[in-house]
Structure 1
Amino acid sequence: MPDTPPNDDPFADLFQKLPTPASTPAPNPAPRSVTPPAAVPGSRRAAREAAEAERTHEDAAAPAAPVASAPTPQRSAETVETPEPAAPRGAGSPRVTRGLLDDPEPAVDPAPVAAPRATQGVEALFAADTHHDDDRARIERHQRDRRKSRIAGWVVFAVILAILGGIVGGGFYVWTTYEDKIRAFMGWEEPKDYEDGIAEGDVSVTIVSGDTGSSISTTLFQSGVTKTDSAFYDYLIKTAQNPTFQPGVYALQQKMSSAAALKALQDPANRRENTAQLPEGLTLESTLARVADGTGTPLADLQAAVADPSVYGVAASSLEGWLFPATYTFDPGTTPQQMIQTMVDRTVQSLDAAGVPVDQRERILTIASIIQREARFTADFYKVSRVIENRLDPDNEETHGLLQMDSTAQYGYNEINKGTASSSAEALENDNPWNTYLHPGLPIGPIANPGDVAIDAAMHPADGPWLYFVTVNLETGETVFSTTYAEHEKAVAQWQEWCSANDSDDC
């Protein structure tokens, strides 16, 4: 056999080093005599010759159609060595061994049959599906966990908000209810007095005969002069002062310190001559006293001037309710009668503006005077007017025409200037023409001087079924209106609760 031809192909070495394709090994067949595999071609030409020989062998191995026998040419018995074709490793091609040229069944070494690639693909497919199902279950489980985490997070957030809301709400209630006590305990008290240098505007303050440091302190606060009700009085106590105050009307400013207010009240230049300041709701007696203090007119002269109402065109037994509340400044030398006439004329002006008929003036003034004394805020005037009208209905089975107003009972018992919202048992039981607890209908006349709003409310009551009202907070003036007595009792309990928690002279 000739030697292997020299490697004339530059890619031979690379070709020889190519990896053998992987194949699935088949079960080992029964041992048999096989011819060793041919050597791997060393060049591309040798590889082509081997491939060509393999194809020739496959064509010869295919079954052929039966044909007529032909005589077989005689050949030499000498064995002819033919080169054995080499096939790529692992390709599964039959290997041809050396044998006689006329051997009809050349010995073939059957190569192991590789497992079908389709089978491997199916198994891989099922394996992939299994992994896919596992991945899907893991993803779904993760998503469920995330949803649960989000829900739990929102629940925790809501709980935190509820707790914070409760803390804030509770803190707000405690602060608004006990602010003064908390400030005092913690040392956070706000200054009770204004500082010097921030005063502004102008305001008139009236000091009447008999006023003390305590009552003047309240007047200054109500006029907007001092910051708190007790600031001026506390200043007098702190500085150990007990000055004498001259009755009259004084020109002051708002937001004054207590020291500055005291200095202004002691300065005669700030006292307005012949001036009387009359707030709403004063009785005739209190009105004459203020006019006397403001103008320097003797009180007895003023009392004599009001003795006969007809002198001023008033068809009533008294001028109670007819001296309109306002600030009056009279020229020097004005007589007491002229002063009274000025006040009565101002009342007629207000009655005409509200459209009150001449023959209804006394009645409207009476209703308006009750409204002025009973209501704390002008916003409630028209509802109080409706309560009065509803209770005056004689067919009302719950009231039977009884007004039952404390202000009227107090006036008839000379207790109206006492300064309390409730009446004493003696005032409620005293039989007089103004006691609306005992006598149905309106009292026989006004009980105070009403202002413009009260007169208009008496003429134009609000619409509503209310029969009762009570001020449940005497500091803010909050008033509850009720239709039934049971509702009214609940509101009265509110007022009593407020009084028990607050030290107020009005209770």
Structure 2
Amino acid sequence: MFGDRPDSDGYGGDPLEHLHGGQTEQLNAHEAEQPSNQGVLRISKRVRRRRRTLIFLLVVAVFVAVAFFAFQAVRPMLTGNSDADYPGPGHGTVTFIVPSGATGRTVAEGLVAQGVAASESAVLDALSAAKGNKLIQPGSFGLKLEMKASDAVSVLLAPDNNKVHYAAIAQNLRQPEVLALLATSTGIKESTFTALAETPAKFGLPPAAKSLEGYLAPGEYRFPIEMTAEQILTQLVQATKDTLVKDGVTDPADQYRVLTIGSIIEFEGNEANYALISGAIENRLHNPNAETGGRLESDATVAYGLGLKTYNITDAQKKDASNPYNTFANPGLPVGPIGSPGEKAINAAAHPQANPYYFWVTVNLTTGETLYATTYADHLKNVAKYQAWCDANVGKCR
């Protein structure tokens, strides 16, 4: 009996095995419920992660957009290649100089620098559109501030524009400096100007004049582009002659003397004391028995004769009488002007201020302060002040 195992009813086997099987079914039923709860948790986590990702991407997108527009705003300042342009028509007046040999790029840079155009690229685009890069001519042009680039280019390229060569000649430049400046401004060879300057008689100068030194009047000039080198030099010389005549000096020999003194005054002093120094020079020239022995003793004249520009003349250089411009070794005036004096220096030379002085020295090269003396002993005291200033301002007394 105990050997029989019914298959269809009863416990159908080991009761312990049956009991275990029941527990297993209950556990499996519990485990079957677990995956459902964990799935909900996993889905919730995925939703949160996706939300955080979307927020992060949105923040990044906003940041990128802001950075992009910020870069677009500052790119012109960083690259200098902005296409910005003024609407025009502009305001005020500007004299714009196109030097000889200028390129489209240099013209564009100049227009931006002077406030005429808003950007170099706008000018270059306008030149390109007008096919004007090879048509730019040197000269002086009247423009406005904040012009539309195409309008400015139209003025520069206008065939009927009164183009001129602009030259700014400073007071008391030496002849070679003036001629070099004229060559640069006009595009005419410097050798052409130099050859003409060696024929002073052609310009109506006295026999004592061996060149145009002293006659090349300083100032701002706008020469029509068709003017020749001879016409340009004639204009400068005539301007000087006109100034001399205005000051009552009409004799050519007297004019040469006044220009010589005027050029020395220009180097030795400043506008405030031109007439005073002119009077001291006349004291020396007209009193050969004074301590100065009729000598001007000007460092500027010695330096000119040596082809130098310096305030420091050595004792050996001062003793060299072979230098015709040496006013330490040779009495009287040097053989000619040492530069081109301006109108005020010419006026002072023509009308010296009476005074008792024979000596003068500029003791401050920055302010132009000049001290005067009637005796050499007092002059040495003033020279000591000049030396003290030089010691305190290294490199300025060269």
* 1:70 alignment counterpart: none
Which one of the candidate residues 302, 313, 333 is aligned to 1:409?
302
Cα deviation, 1:41-97, whole Å, max 9, x if unaligned, reads: xxxxxxxxxxxxxxxxxxxxxxxxxxxxxxxxxxxxxxxxxxxxxxxxxxxxxxxxx
Does the 8 Å contact 1:369/1:447 carry over to 2? yes
Percent of residue pairs bearing the same amino acid type: 38
Q: Aligned-pair distance for 1:505?
A: 3.1
Does the 8 Å contact 1:249/1:277 carry over to 2? no
- Does residue 390 in structure 1 map to residue 390 in structure 2? no
1:404 and 1:374 map into 2 onto residues whose CA distance is 11
Which one of the candidate residues 373, 385, 389 is aligned to 1:498?
389
* 1:479 alignment counterpart: 370
2:210 and 2:366 map into 1 onto residues whose CA distance is 36
1:249 and 1:435 map into 2 onto residues whose CA distance is 41
- Does residue 348 in structure 1 map to residue 257 in structure 2? no
- Residue type at the aligned position of 1:482: A
The 1:401–1:311 alpha-carbon spacing in structure 2 relative to 1, beyond 3 Å, is same
Please list, as runs of the form range in 1=range in 2, the aligned pairs for 1:83-162 lying within 5 A after superposition.
none
Q: Aligned-pair distance for 1:250?
A: 8.6
The 1:485–1:352 alpha-carbon spacing in structure 2 relative to 1, beyond 3 Å, is same
1:426 and 1:287 map into 2 onto residues whose CA distance is 30
The 1:311–1:273 alpha-carbon spacing in structure 2 relative to 1, beyond 3 Å, is same
* 1:464 alignment counterpart: 355
Cα deviation, 1:299-354, whole Å, max 9, x if unaligned, reads: 01111121211111111222110111111111112111001100011011000001
Gaps of 5+ in 2: 1-91, 101-113, 115-137, 143-155, 157-162
The 1:206–1:374 alpha-carbon spacing in structure 2 relative to 1, beyond 3 Å, is farther
Which one of the candidate residues 418, 423, 427 is aligned to 2:313?
423
Cα deviation, 1:442-481, whole Å, max 9, x if unaligned, reads: 1111111011111110111112101111111111111111
Does the 8 Å contact 1:393/1:400 carry over to 2? no
2:352 and 2:328 map into 1 onto residues whose CA distance is 22
Please list, as runs of the form range in 1=range in 2, the aligned pairs for 1:19-34 lying within 5 A after superposition.
none
* 2:225 alignment counterpart: 332
Q: Secondary structure at the match of 2:330?
A: coil
Please list, as runs of the form range in 1=range in 2, the aligned pairs for 1:147-296 lying within 5 A after superposition.
274-296=165-187
The 1:352–1:474 alpha-carbon spacing in structure 2 relative to 1, beyond 3 Å, is same
Q: Aligned-pair distance for 1:421?
A: 2.3
Does the 8 Å contact 1:321/1:447 carry over to 2? yes
Does the 8 Å contact 2:301/2:338 carry over to 1? yes
TM-score under structure 2 length normalisation: 0.58
1:407 and 1:280 map into 2 onto residues whose CA distance is 15
More helix by share: 2
Which one of the candidate residues 431, 434, 449 is aligned to 2:325?
434
Q: Secondary structure at the match of 1:285?
A: helix
2:396 and 2:390 map into 1 onto residues whose CA distance is 9
1:327 and 1:424 map into 2 onto residues whose CA distance is 36
Q: Secondary structure at the match of 1:274?
A: strand
Q: How many residues matched?
A: 251
Q: Secondary structure at the match of 2:281?
A: helix
2:277 and 2:96 map into 1 onto residues whose CA distance is 30
Cα deviation, 1:176-217, whole Å, max 9, x if unaligned, reads: xxxxxxxxxxxxxxxxxxxxxxxx996899999xxxxxxxxx
* 1:322 alignment counterpart: 215
Q: Secondary structure at the match of 2:304?
A: helix
1:395 and 1:284 map into 2 onto residues whose CA distance is 31
1:298 and 1:395 map into 2 onto residues whose CA distance is 46
Q: Secondary structure at the match of 1:341?
A: helix
Structure index of larger Rg: 1
1:407 and 1:365 map into 2 onto residues whose CA distance is 15
* 1:449 alignment counterpart: 340
Does the 8 Å contact 2:140/2:164 carry over to 1? no
Q: Secondary structure at the match of 1:281?
A: coil
Which one of the candidate residues 182, 190, 194 is aligned to 1:299?
190
Q: Secondary structure at the match of 2:255?
A: helix
Over the aligned positions, Cα root-mean-square deviation in angstroms equals: 3.0
Cα deviation, 1:243-263, whole Å, max 9, x if unaligned, reads: xxxxx99999xxxxxxxxxxx
Cα deviation, 1:376-421, whole Å, max 9, x if unaligned, reads: x201100110110011124433011011011111111111xx2x32
Does the 8 Å contact 1:312/1:344 carry over to 2? yes
Gaps of 5+ in 1: 1-199, 209-224, 226-247, 253-268
The 1:443–1:489 alpha-carbon spacing in structure 2 relative to 1, beyond 3 Å, is same
1:395 and 1:206 map into 2 onto residues whose CA distance is 53
* 2:203 alignment counterpart: 312
Cα deviation, 1:213-239, whole Å, max 9, x if unaligned, reads: xxxxxxxxxxxx9xxxxxxxxxxxxxx
- Does residue 373 in structure 1 map to residue 267 in structure 2? yes
2:354 and 2:177 map into 1 onto residues whose CA distance is 34
2:374 and 2:141 map into 1 onto residues whose CA distance is 46
Q: Secondary structure at the match of 1:304?
A: helix
Does the 8 Å contact 1:434/1:443 carry over to 2? yes
* 2:255 alignment counterpart: 361
Does the 8 Å contact 2:275/2:353 carry over to 1? yes
The 1:330–1:250 alpha-carbon spacing in structure 2 relative to 1, beyond 3 Å, is closer
Q: Aligned-pair distance for 1:482?
A: 1.0
- Residue type at the aligned position of 1:321: G
TM-score under structure 1 length normalisation: 0.46
- Residue type at the aligned position of 1:469: W
* 1:110 alignment counterpart: none
Q: Secondary structure at the match of 1:330?
A: strand
